[in-house]
Amino acid sequence: MNIKQEITQILKTALNKCGYEIDGNIVSLSNRPELADYQSNVCFGLSKKYKESPEVIANKIIDSIKSDEYCFSFCAPGFINIILTTLKLSSIASSLLCSENLGIEKTANPKLILLDYGGANVAKELHMGHLRSPIIGQAINNLFVLFGNNTISDTHLGDWGLQMGLTIAQMEEDGFLDYYFKGTGKKPEITMEMLNVEYPKASLRKKTDEEFRQKADNYTLLLQQKKEPFFSVWQEMRNVSVKTVERNYNNLNIHFDIWDGESSVSNLITETINIFKNKGLARESEGALVVDVAKEGENIPIPKENEFDIQRYKNPMPPAIIQKYNGGELYMTTDLATILLRNRQFKPDEIVYVTDNRQTEHFIKLFRCAKMAEISPENQKLTHVAFGTMNGKDGKPFKTRSGETIKLEDVINMVQEKAQEKLTANGMGKNQELAREIGVAALKFGDLSNDVGRDYVLDIDKFCSFEGKTGPYLQYTCARINSLLSKTKEDGKNFLISSPEERNIVINTLKLIDSFSLALENLTLSPICTAVFNLAQSFSVFYNNIKILTEEDKVKRQNYIALCTLTKKAITLALNVLAIDTPEKM
Ligand code: ARG
């Protein structure tokens, strides 16, 4: 059901009758919901075109409309206000209640979309930076599916870069790898705890110890050539890392169809580089192989979301490096080869990458290279969803009190504990699983309710509150409805919308439906978060002001029950898209 389209149709017919013609969008949601549900600003445009006052035009149009579903009225200086009648709202509500996914239609041209999110790195522990990507990526994935598209999600592990050589070199020096390098001792068990110490140590050291850095560089190269013992050690490291990552992502209700990584394209690297060489797109520079992405004299505009980071951008944009001085491969090389692989395996219509906005330049270069070399066909859409930083209350990237970047697992524990505190305060007792569901909801909703590109402050106390624009508040609203519905055997199907409280629930459900397309258009989830919160709020007003189950008039009572059921259905749909659980009880 598309109310906007219906109103547009009525207005268009009226315009026609009155001898007016105009292109473009003529109906929008009302800017002043207290006055109307929808509005049309068409008379201002017509006024310019036909040299009549907007008021005269508005009244002519309104006079020519006869509808018992919508009320059209004039609003100074030239708006047409549109209100849905009780009859119309009731019939809309019934049809929303019966239809799957609130009647959101699946696209007639489903696309195959490959989503690349998560992006955890092997050997490095998952940290806060790896929280936003899967949260946003999973929700965008669900949104594409809601509209009938097919998706493939790939976590694209960072498992083939310098951090591998660094960690191996450090572990060797610290005597953990004698079995592999000297053939002595027992086969060591490589653990996450070990990697958590060794990688940061190596990473710090490479900044001052040039000899060590070169060694790590060389080890990375040997690994990329699949030489022993590097390859065997690497396999062990990858296995333990993947297990940890999987556990963390499972805890967050985030899932992938494919667990590929940079290493998955190791056998396509030479081919990829040759494509650039053969097409004359690559040139040598200081021993490395580079591709010029900017044309002579071209100024590549800085994306708006990256203006904060203006120093990072040089003009003309420096070339993309596709092979290192020592023949090694880089992030750019594996990403190019991955596009080649994905097009051989799946031929997606679109590839969507979800990473933080410090990688924007990388993706500009990647997309340009892929198109130049025709690794990505012309009609394939390549999209980078760039998100901002999750900050602490000091406005700087979130850190622990001692100043370290915080581990993802610790964040999950923190929100879970906070949720448990709230449950205890509400007399719900200890319930680990429920606390996790609530904590994760708090985290996800707190994240997604901001426009994707923007930085935000992780405020665990605020996010976990059962009141206000939070995940737990929405879960709580659903749980309240569950409890109410469990107390009656009646099932409400027939609506008779009359009071403003009732109207608002239906109107806000319609707005929620609109918000899904808006979110899809802009690949940001914040419109859905705002709309679902508004719906929950209008439900709370209704719930607090109206005696639902004790209403004596049967017709009214059934209408109330039907409204509760509809609200629950709508909130649940939104939370499902956001990959947020809806616990039965809270
Ligand atoms: N591993 C990368 C990181 O930690 C993210 C990978 C994103 N995907 C990609 N195809 N480049 O930053």
Domain range annotation of the chain: 3-84, 162-251, 408-577
**pLDDT, mean of residues 110-137:** 91
Mode of pairing for the β-strands spanning 28-29 and 70-75: unpaired
Distance 345 CA to ligand 1 centre (A): 20
**pLDDT, mean of residues 330-358:** 96
The CA distance from 113 to 38, in Å, is: 34
Q: Per-residue pLDDT tens for 52-81?
A: 999 999 999 999 999 989 999 999 999 999
Domain pair 3-84 / 408-577, same fold: no
The yes-or-no verdict on residue 577 having pLDDT over 70 is yes
**pLDDT, mean of residues 404-421:** 88
The yes-or-no verdict on residue 400 having pLDDT over 70 is no
Superfamily of domain 408-577: Isoleucyl-tRNA Synthetase; Domain 1 (1.10.730.10)
The yes-or-no verdict on residue 496 having pLDDT over 90 is yes
The atom of ligand 1 lying closest to the CA of 354 is 7
The CA distance from 546 to 189, in Å, is: 63
Q: Which residue shows structure tokens 């996450």?
A: 192
Per DSSP, the three-state class of 347 is coil
Q: How confident is the model at residue 301 (pLDDT cuts 50, 70, 90)?
A: confident
In testing the pocket of ligand 1, which one of 339, 355, 363 has its CB within 8 Å of the most ligand atoms?
355
Distance 322 CA to ligand 1 centre (A): 16
The CA distance from 137 to 358, in Å, is: 17
The atom of ligand 1 lying closest to the CA of 356 is 12
The yes-or-no verdict on residue 521 having pLDDT over 60 is yes
* SS (HEC) of 405-451: ECEHHHHHHHHHHHHHHHHHHCCCCCCHHHHHHHHHHHHHHHHHCCC
Q: How confident is the model at residue 401 (pLDDT cuts 50, 70, 90)?
A: low
Architecture per CATH, domain 3-84, reads as: 2-Layer Sandwich (3.30)
Distance 119 CA to ligand 1 centre (A): 4
User: Which residue's CA is the closest to the ligand 1 atom numbered 6?
Assistant: 119
Q: Per-residue pLDDT tens for 426-481?
A: 888 899 999 999 999 999 999 999 999 888 999 999 999 999 999 999 999 999 99
Per DSSP, the three-state class of 348 is coil
Pocket, ligand 1, Cβ cutoff 6 A: 116, 119, 121, 156, 158, 335, 353, 355
484 exposure class (CB count in 10 Å sphere: 0-12, 13-18, 19+): middle
The yes-or-no verdict on residue 492 having pLDDT over 90 is no
Q: Per-residue pLDDT tens for 359-378?
A: 999 999 999 999 999 999 99
Residues 6+ apart with CB under 8 A from 557: 490, 492, 548, 549, 551
Beta carbons of 153 and 117 less than 8 angstroms apart: yes
The atom of ligand 1 lying closest to the CA of 124 is 4
Beta carbons of 54 and 47 less than 8 angstroms apart: yes
Q: Which residue shows structure tokens 């880089």?
A: 330
Percent of the chain with pLDDT over 70: 99
Distance 412 CA to ligand 1 centre (A): 22
Q: How confident is the model at residue 308 (pLDDT cuts 50, 70, 90)?
A: confident
Q: How confident is the model at residue 15 (pLDDT cuts 50, 70, 90)?
A: very high
Q: How many CB atoms lie within 10 A of CB 228?
A: 10
Mean pLDDT across the chain: 93
Q: What is the pLDDT of residue 554?
A: 93
The CA distance from 448 to 132, in Å, is: 9
The yes-or-no verdict on residue 404 having pLDDT over 90 is no
User: Which residue's CA is the closest to the ligand 1 atom numbered 11?
Assistant: 335
**pLDDT, mean of residues 110-125:** 93
The token pair at 76 is 């100074």
Residues 6+ apart with CB under 8 A from 181: 172, 229
Distance 151 CA to ligand 1 centre (A): 19
- The predicted model scores a pTM of 0.92
The CA distance from 226 to 266, in Å, is: 9
Distance 487 CA to ligand 1 centre (A): 50
* SS (HEC) of 456-502: EECCHHHHCCCCCCCHHHHHHHHHHHHHHHHCCCCCCCCCCCCCHHH
How far the first Cα of the chain sits from its last, in Å, is 33
User: Which residue's CA is the closest to the ligand 1 atom numbered 5?
Assistant: 119
Cα-based angle 484, 489, 490 (whole degrees, multiple of 5)? 90
Distance 335 CA to ligand 1 centre (A): 9
